[in-house]
Amino acid sequence: MDIMKFNMTNQVNKLLKVIIIVVSTVILAALTYNYFHNSLQNEARLDFNNRARLIKTYLNLLGSHVNSFKRDIEYSYHLESNNSAIHPGLQQLKNFDKNHYILSNDSENNLQVTLSGIGTADKALQLHGKEINTILKFSSRFNSIAASLPEITWVYYTSINKFLFVAPTINPDEYLFDEPDYQRNFWQEAQPENNPEHKQIITKLYNDAAGQGLMVTISSPVLLDNRFMGIVSLDLGLDFLRSLLISDLNSPLGESILVDESSFLVGKVEDFTIGTQIEVPDLADNTQGFIHADDKHWLITELVDGELWLVHVFENNKIIMASVIKSIPVWTILFITLALAFVLIKLQEAHKQVVELSRIDPLTGLLNRRGLYESIKQPVSFSKRHHNSWSVVIMDIDYFKKVNDTYGHNIGDEVIQEVGRLMNDIIRNSDIAARWGGEEFLLFLPDTNAQMACHIADKLLEAVSTQQITNNKLNITLSSGCAEAKADEPFDEVLKRADIKLYEAKEKGRNQNQR
C-alpha cells in the first residue's frame, strides 16, 4: 500500500466515522426535543384534565346546593297552610321608604340575612305572606352557606313578586331591590321565557348590583304550585374564578380561561374587559385532546352542559421554546460528547497514521522492512497450511552509488521513487512489494513458483531498463534474485537463497535475474 492510497482510505474511514457520529448526535438531539415537547404537552393535558375535573366537581357541588334550596323551598311552600307556624321575622318587615320595605335590621333581628322588596310591608304580607314566610324559614341555611363558603359572594332568592332575600346582609342604604334587577343576567337567563325547561343555568359575566364587581351566577328556577315564582341563586366573583385558573402552566406556556357558549370570557387570570369574545375552535367538538389552529394549541372541555367551558391555550412558538430550553442540558451533554468523539477520532487516526507510517517507506510509498514482515505473516501461514507455493524476489539498482556521486542524492531519490512506482504498477494485487533498504527492493509473491516469480522479475527489469528516468533521462537497470520456498521453510531462509541469487546476477554482469 502506498502513502496516497493509505491517506485516501484513512480519510474515507474518518469521514464515515464523522458522519455516523454527527447523524447519531442529531437524531438523539431531535429525540430529546421530541421527548420534552411531548412531555410538556402531556403535562399540560394532565394538569388541564385534573383542573377541569376539580372545577367541574366544585361547580357540581355548588349547583347541588342551589338545587337543594330550590327543591326544599318548593316542598316547604307546598306544606304551608293557614295553620303553619309564622316565622318571627315576618313580624319584622317594615317600610324603608314610600317605595320599598325591608326586614328590620335592629338588634332583635339576628337572622344575618337581608330582605328588601318593592311596595309596602303590609301589602307584601297581604299578597305574598305565604311565600315570604316560607323563605324566612331558610334564613339560617342561607346564612350558613354564605359563611362556610367564603368564595361565594351572595346566596339569594329573587321572587317574581318583587322582593329579594339574600345572605350575607346588605345595608339597605347601599342597595335595595328594584325593577331594573329583573334585567340582570341572573334573572333574564333563568326565567321561563329564556329557560323553558326550567333547568339550572350559569350566567354570563356581569357586574354585581350590590357593588361586588364582576361575577357569574348559578341559578335554578323555583316553581310554587307549578307556577314560576322566583329564582334561587348563588354568585361566584371573578377573583374566585381566577383562583380556579391559576396553574404552574399559565406561564410561560399559556393560560387557562373560562368561556360561555358564545365564547365570551367568563374568567381569566389577567384583567380583561367584560364582553370580550375569544376566537376559540368549535366548542361543540368538546375534545380533551390538543386542537391545533392559528399557530396555537388548544385544550377544551365542557364544565357545565352547554354553558361553561374550560380552555387552555398556548402559542406554538412558546411550547417550541420551552421544549428547547428543557432540551439544552441534554444537548450540551450530547455536543460535549460529540466534541470528545471528534478528539478521540483525531487521536485514533493520528495513532493509526503513526503506526501505518512506521510500516511504509516515505520515499516510495512501498512497505518498509518492518511493514513487510507484518504483512507476510498471514499469507505465509495460509500457504503453509494449504501447501501452496510462494516465492521471494530481491532486487538491487545497478551502479546506484555512481548515480549518487554523479548527479547527487536528489536525483538518486528520484530514481528510487521511479523504480518503486514501476514496481507498484507491474505487480499483482496479491503481491507485496517493499523497499528493503537503500537501493534494494523485495517482492513477496504468494501462490507463485520460481518460474512465475522470475517472469514477474523479468517484466520489471525490462520496464526499468527501457524507461528514461528523471529529467536527466538516465538509463537504469536492475539485478534480481528469485527463490521459491520449500515446505515449511522460514521466510528468512528463502530470503537468503534469493539474496545469493542476486549476488550471482551482479557477478554475471548485472541487468539480469537469477534463480
Please tell me the total number of residues recorded for the chain in this structure: 515
Burial 238-272 (b: 16+ CB within 10 A, else e): bebbbebbebebbeebbbbbbbbbeeebbbbbeeb
Q: Is 399 left (phi over 0), alpha (psi -120 to 50) or beta?
A: left
Q: Which three cell numbers stand for residue 468?
A: 528514461
Indicate the SS3 state at residue 261: coil
The shares of helix, strand and coil residues in the chain, as percent rounded to the nearest 5, are 50, 25, 30
Catalytic-role residue among 189, 307, 439, 484: 439
Residue 439 annotated in active site: yes
Alpha helices for 408-511 (secondary structure H): 409-426, 450-465, 491-507
CB atoms within 10 A of CB 27: 10
**Neighbouring C-beta atoms of residue 348, cutoff 10 Å:** 13
Secondary structure class of 441 (helix, strand, coil): strand
Q: Grid coordinates in use for 250?
A: 399559565
| CA dist., res. 381 & res. 374, Å (int) | 12
Name the residue with cell 501462490. 447
d(CA 239, CA 185): 19
Alpha-carbon gap, residue 213 to 168, rounded angstroms: 16
3 state SS of 473: coil
What are the start-end ranges of the E strands in 238-363?
255-260, 265-268, 291-293, 296-304, 308-315
Residue (of 353, 373, 384) closest to 447 by Cα position: 384
Q: Nearest CA to 99 among 133, 83, 80, 123?
A: 123
Q: Which amino acid is at 413?
A: D
Residue bearing cell 320595605: 101
Q: Which residues contact 283 (CB under 8 A, 6 or more apart)?
A: 259, 261, 263, 300, 302, 309
The type of residue at 55 is I
Pick from 160, 176, 169, 274: which is nearest to 216 by CA? 274
Contact predicate 234/151, CB 8 Å: no
Residue type for position 498 = A
Q: Which of 75, 66, 74 has its CA nearest to residue 232?
A: 66
Q: Known catalytic residues?
A: 439
